[in-house]
Structure 1
Amino acid sequence: MFHPLRVREVERLTDDAVAVTFAVPPELYDTFRHVPGQHITLRRTVDGTELRRTYSICAPAVPPPAEPVLKVGIRLVEGGEFSTYAVKELSAGDTVEVMPPMGRFTLRPRPGRFAAVVGGSGITPVLSIASTLLAEQPDARFHLIRSDRTVASAMFLEEVAELKDRHPDRFHLVHTLSREERQAGLPTGRLDTERLTSLLPALLPVAEVDGWFLCGPHGLVRAAEDALTGLGVPVSAIHQEIFHADAAPVDAGAAPAPVRAAAGSAKLTATLGGRMGVWPVGEGETLLDTVLRNRSDAPYACKGGVCGTCRVKLLSGEVHMDRNFALEPDEVSAGYVLACQSRPVTETVEVDFDA
């Protein structure tokens, strides 16, 4: 459900990025209180066309009764209608429709040692995770390895520096650049699998890290995942969130898709908001397409398999997910699928959006 929220502040971060803070009315405090690492979906209608985009919350989580700090980082995407509007036109006093926080790329503060490898705007959710953790857990440590093209393109430089000043003994920062030379620090270049495999053990005790958070472009996240698994880190300790999934290549080593049910022969049973419906799946439709054709209130945001907003529990039947950048392995094992990426393989499929 979307709520109209007033923009309290638009802060310029870089030439192509802003931080947008929303004012949350007291009656919605509980609705918009987030877990560090979650995102919100923003909605705007232009010439009758609805635009939805998800953006990660960068602010630390605050306990009741304080007002939740709802602040997101938005970077301009070439050709992106919503990001262009947000970066170039949005201003304090405007109203935007906002969906409550969602997402499972999260860390509820607890003692331990945690680390993140992020690229570009991937710093946004990790900033919330690290700042909340260090503020609430005096025994926790956080290691941040971030990569940006140049210093000028780096989002939240001041906020990360303040975090380092506030927790000098518990926050470890390494900042690499891929397109700019520096007199000090690590050599310029991309963080690929080979480089991360040698770099990470030199920076921190990899085996002692309780949880890894990887966020950014597809290439960086995959490189970090491969490096970590090669270093013996269990998959259960690696959490990831991919940005810009449109640029992600199809996995050439993946198993071929099973034969799908013939167009018009598959029937979808879906429970949403406590109400059940049964509908035929049209040719080329995903489960989400079918539900939206009959229920406009079906939850979704990116439609790219990234945000996880359309996660459903598969109760019966079989589907094929075209791609998945949102669900953790244990969620897939438990029977969850992304409605925006799933197409029927069997003639009957039943899912539950409420599960």
Structure 2
Amino acid sequence: MFHPLRVAAVEPLTDDSVAVTFTVPPGLRETFRHVPGQHVTLRRRADGAEVRRTYSVCSPARAEPLLRVGIRHVAEGVFSSYALKELAVGDTVDVTPPTGRFVLPPRPGHYAAVVGGSGITPVLSIAATLLEREPGARFCLVRSDRTAASAMFLEETAELKDRYPDRLNLVQTLSREERQSGLPTGRLDAARLTSLLPALVPVADVDGWFLCGPHGLVRAAEDALRTLGVRPGRVHQEIFHVADAVAAPGPAAPGSGPAATTATATVTATLDGRGGSWPARAGESVLETVLRHRGDAPYACKGGVCGTCRVRLLAGEVRMDRNFALEPDELDAGYVLACQSHPASPAVTVDFDA
């Protein structure tokens, strides 16, 4: 459900990014209380069409909720262009309550993150909250940016390091800018990360790894951790952007059907406790079928990245085109992405509430 929230601040971070803070009314404070790492969906109308985009909450999770998100401009991005050029204090934006499973509820332990570009946004909330609430916790943050000037939340991460010098290990790498000190310039590929990470942390003793950013960096970090013997259950990932040219992972949906979708199928869905059954049109995704009858079905990116449209497949088979949001344990439990799932059996039943 969307709630209209007033913009309290719009702060430039870099030439192409801003931090937007919303005022949360007292009556909605519990609704908008977030777990570190969660995201919200923002909505507006542009040229007569509804535009939804998902952005991570960057503020620490505290008793007095502060809803602050980081937004980076993307090429031809309708919402990000609006946020950078037009959004102003006093404007109202429709916002959903925080959601998402790329989270770390504060607890003792040793944690690490590899992030690239705007992938710092949720990890900033994770690290700040963890170090603030758990005196015995430690965090290693490896971040990759094109240049120092393009790095979002550069001052915030530096301040965090100053506040917790013995418990936060902060490593900054740049891919397109030479530096006189620090790590050599260049991309963090799998080979480089395989060599770098053991020099920074006792890899086997890290309780949780958080990978966030562009598809290439996340996959490189995942490959490096696999090479270093890290168990998959300790690795959590969130991909912020996937180029259209990037092929989707292999079959990943429970009950994945044949390559071709069923010509005629019925989709049954439960949403907010109410169910319905509708015929699917040729080529439609499960989400598209449901949206024709239930405009309140949750979604944001429609690209298989954000996970907002996650549903549990209760019956039937689907073909899921792309999956950059669901982790293996979710797939094993029967979850699929409604925006990427096409009926591959005459009847498909999903649950948005599961």
Report the TM range for the smaller structure's normalisation: over 0.9
Counterpart in 2 of 1:131?
A: 128
User: Structure 2 unaligned runs (5+)?
Assistant: none
Query: 1:254 and 1:352, CA in 2 relative to 1: closer, same or farther beyond 3 A?
Result: closer
Counterpart in 2 of 1:330?
A: 329
Counterpart in 2 of 1:31?
A: 31
Alignment of 1:176-215 (within 5 A): 176-215=173-212
- Amino acid of the structure 1 residue aligned with 2:353: D
Figure out how many residues of one structure are paired with residues of the other and give that number.
351
CA distance in 2, matches of 1:75, 1:230: 32
Query: 1:248 and 1:240, CA in 2 relative to 1: closer, same or farther beyond 3 A?
Result: farther
Is the Cα–Cα contact under 8 Å of residues 16 and 84 in structure 2 kept in the other structure? Answer: yes
TM-score, with length taken from structure 1: 0.97
Counterpart in 1 of 2:11?
A: 11
Secondary structure of the residue aligned to 2:314 is: strand
Secondary structure of the residue aligned to 2:191 is: helix
Is the Cα–Cα contact under 8 Å of residues 269 and 349 in structure 2 kept in the other structure? Answer: yes
CA distance in 2, matches of 1:252, 1:56: 24
CA distance in 2, matches of 1:56, 1:248: 25
CA distance in 2, matches of 1:173, 1:247: 32
- Amino acid of the structure 2 residue aligned with 1:285: E
Counterpart in 1 of 2:169?
A: 172
Query: 1:184 and 1:261, CA in 2 relative to 1: closer, same or farther beyond 3 A?
Result: closer
TM-score, with length taken from structure 2: 0.97
Query: 1:213 and 1:148, CA in 2 relative to 1: closer, same or farther beyond 3 A?
Result: same
Counterpart in 2 of 1:145?
A: 142
Report percent identity of matched pairs.
Answer: 72
CA distance in 1, matches of 2:237, 2:135: 25
Counterpart in 2 of 1:230?
A: 227
Q: Residue 149 of structure 1: CA displacement? A: 0.2
Q: Deviations over 1:53-107 (max 9, x none)?
A: 00000000012xx2x1100000111110110000111111111110110110000
Q: Which moved more, 1:267-276 or 1:5-14?
A: 267-276
Q: Residue 258 of structure 1: CA displacement? A: 1.6
Is the Cα–Cα contact under 8 Å of residues 147 and 178 in structure 1 kept in the other structure? Answer: yes
Query: 1:116 and 1:252, CA in 2 relative to 1: closer, same or farther beyond 3 A?
Result: closer
2:216 pairs, out of 211, 219, 238, with: 219
Q: Residue 260 of structure 1: CA displacement? A: 3.5
CA distance in 2, matches of 1:141, 1:319: 42
Q: Residue 5 of structure 1: CA displacement? A: 0.4
- Amino acid of the structure 1 residue aligned with 2:287: L
Q: Residue 251 of structure 1: CA displacement? A: 4.7
CA distance in 2, matches of 1:94, 1:252: 40
- Amino acid of the structure 2 residue aligned with 1:323: R
User: Structure 1 unaligned runs (5+)?
Assistant: none
Counterpart in 2 of 1:118?
A: 115
- Amino acid of the structure 1 residue aligned with 2:144: S
Provide runs of 4+ in structure 1 moved above 6 Å. Answer: none
Q: Residue 261 of structure 1: CA displacement? A: 4.1
Q: Residue 182 of structure 1: CA displacement? A: 0.3
Is the Cα–Cα contact under 8 Å of residues 36 and 106 in structure 1 kept in the other structure? Answer: yes
Secondary structure of the residue aligned to 2:99 is: coil
CA distance in 1, matches of 2:33, 2:327: 23
- Amino acid of the structure 2 residue aligned with 1:52: R
CA distance in 1, matches of 2:238, 2:178: 28
- Amino acid of the structure 2 residue aligned with 1:320: R
